[in-house]
Amino acid sequence: MDVKNILGGLPNFSFPLQEKNSSEVCALTGGFAPLMPAVDLSLLKKKPPSDKKVIWRWLPFKNSARKDDLQLHHWIQVVNGVPPTGDYSFAKYNKSVDITRYTDEEYEKYLANPKWTKEETDQLFDLCERFNLRFIVIADRFPSSRTVEELKDRYYSVSRAMLIARNPSSTDVAMDPLVQEPYNVSQEMERKRAQSLILSQTKQQERRDEEVLAEAKRIAELRIMTKVDLESELDVASKACANVTERANPGETVSPSNTELPPIVVSSMTSTDNASTIASLRMLYVYSRTYALGQMVQSASSSAGLRTIKRVDQTLQELGVCLFSSLMHF
C-alpha cells in the first residue's frame, strides 16, 4: 500500500474477473468473494416422485361429541381415492364435567334444605350438566330469581355432602378440593364488591391510593429503622448495667460520668436515716433515665464514706436502677 491508500484512497489491487461473472457484478462487489457461498442447485436433494394422488373432496362427517347425530360436511384430503376413516379429529377436545346425581332417598337424608325445594335442586343440576357449570348462563336460564352466589353455594354444598356420604372413610375424601376448600358465599360476595369498587375508581382516586400506599410504606420503613436503633441502644444499655452490677469489691467507687452537668449536692447517709434514703432512692428511680442520677451518685461518693456508698449501690441494685440507663433514648 502507498500513501494514497493510507490517506483514504482505494486499494490498488487488481482482481481477475471470475468466470460467469460480468464486469458490473465485479464492480459492485469489488472483486471480493460473497459472504454466503452460492449453492449449486444440482447438489440439492430432490424429492423422489410420489405415487400418492391427493385430492380434496367435500364429504360428510359426524362428531362423536354431539349427541343429536347432526351430520355436517367439510373438505377432506383424499389419498388415492380412499377417504379417511375414524372419528372427527376435534372431538377429543370436547370435555364435559361429571355432575353428581342423587336419589330421592339420598336427598331426603342428606340434602334437605328449607331454602331449596327438590324441584329447584333438580333444575339446578340439570342446567349445570347442560351448560357445564357456566353459572352466569345457568343464572340466566334458572326459572326462579336466584343469584349466582346462591346457585354456586347450593351446587357445591350438595356435591360436598354427597361426596362425604358416599365415602364414609374421611381419609378417602380428605384431599378432595370440595372438602379442603368449601365454597364461601360471604367471601365471594365481598370479593366481588371489592372488585367492583376497584373497577369503578377514577384516575384521581387511583393516584390518591398510590400516594397513601407510598406514605404507609415510608412510615413502616421508618418504624423498622427506629426499632432497630432502639434495640441496639437497649443492648448497649443492658451491657452497661451488667458492668455496674458486677462491682462487688468494696474498694471500687462509681466511675464518673462523661457528661458535665451542674453538681447536685447529696448529704451523707448514716444508719439512722436508712429509711429516708430508701424513700429518696425510690423517688430518684423516676429520674433514672436522665443524667442527673449519675451526678447525684458522684456528689454522694465525694462527700460520703465507703459504707454509705456501698449501701447506696446495694439499694440501687435492689430497686433495679441502672446508672448508665441514660444511654437509652425513648
Q: Quick one: pLDDT at residue 24?
A: 75
- Give the DSSP letter of residue 33: P
- The span from the CA of 32 to the CA of 9, in Å, is 18
Of the candidate ranges 25-29, 163-167, 193-197, the one whose mean pLDDT is the lowest: 25-29
Q: Quick one: pLDDT at residue 216?
A: 93
| Residue 263 backbone zone (phi > 0: left; psi -120 to 50: alpha; other: beta) | beta
Domains and CATH numbers, the chain: 104-196 (1.10.10.60), 230-327 (no CATH)
Average pLDDT, the chain: 75
Per-residue pLDDT at 195 exceeds 60: yes
Per the CB < 8 A criterion, the answer to whether 300 and 277 are in contact is no
Q: Quick one: pLDDT at residue 22?
A: 67
Q: Quick one: pLDDT at residue 230?
A: 85
Top pLDDT among 50 and 246 is at: 50
Burial of 317 (0-12, 13-18, 19+ CB in 10 A): middle
Q: Name residue, grid cell 442520677.
A: 293
| Model pLDDT for residues 17-49, shown as the tens digit of each residue | 445 556 777 777 766 666 666 666 666 777 777
Residue 244: CA atoms inside 13 Å, Cβ hemisphere, count?
26
- The span from the CA of 51 to the CA of 280, in Å, is 117
- The span from the CA of 287 to the CA of 322, in Å, is 11
Q: Reduce the DSSP state of residue 72 to 3 states and report it.
A: strand
Q: Quick one: pLDDT at residue 3?
A: 58
Q: Quick one: pLDDT at residue 290?
A: 47
Per the CB < 8 A criterion, the answer to whether 59 and 76 are in contact is yes
Top pLDDT among 88 and 319 is at: 88
Top pLDDT among 224 and 313 is at: 224
Phi then psi for 135, rounded to 5 degrees?
A: -70, -25
- Work out the average pLDDT over 202-231: 91
Q: Would the CA dihedral through 230, 233, 239, 241 be positive or negative?
A: negative
- The span from the CA of 159 to the CA of 170, in Å, is 15
| Model pLDDT for residues 279-325, shown as the tens digit of each residue | 454 444 444 444 455 555 555 555 555 666 677 777 767 766 555 44
- The span from the CA of 200 to the CA of 69, in Å, is 47
Q: For residue 75, list its beta bridge partners.
A: 58
Which are the contacts of 303, defined by CB distance < 8 A and separation ≥ 6? Answer: 265, 266, 267, 268
- Work out the average pLDDT over 219-226: 91
| Model pLDDT for residues 227-275, shown as the tens digit of each residue | 888 888 787 777 766 665 565 444 554 444 444 444 444 444 444 444 5
Q: Quick one: pLDDT at residue 6?
A: 62
Most confident of 169-173, 201-205, 244-248: 201-205
Top pLDDT among 139 and 12 is at: 139
Q: Name residue, grid cell 432502639.
A: 230
| Model pLDDT for residues 90-119, shown as the tens digit of each residue | 888 888 888 989 999 999 999 999 999 999
User: Chain-centre distance of CA 115, in angstroms?
Assistant: 39
Mutual angle of helices 185-199 and 148-166, in 10-degree steps? 150
What is the residue type of 159? S
- Model confidence, pTM: 0.47
Q: Quick one: pLDDT at residue 48?
A: 72
Task: Give the burial string for 53-68 (b: 16+ CB within 10 Å, else e).
Answer: eeeeeeeebebeeeee
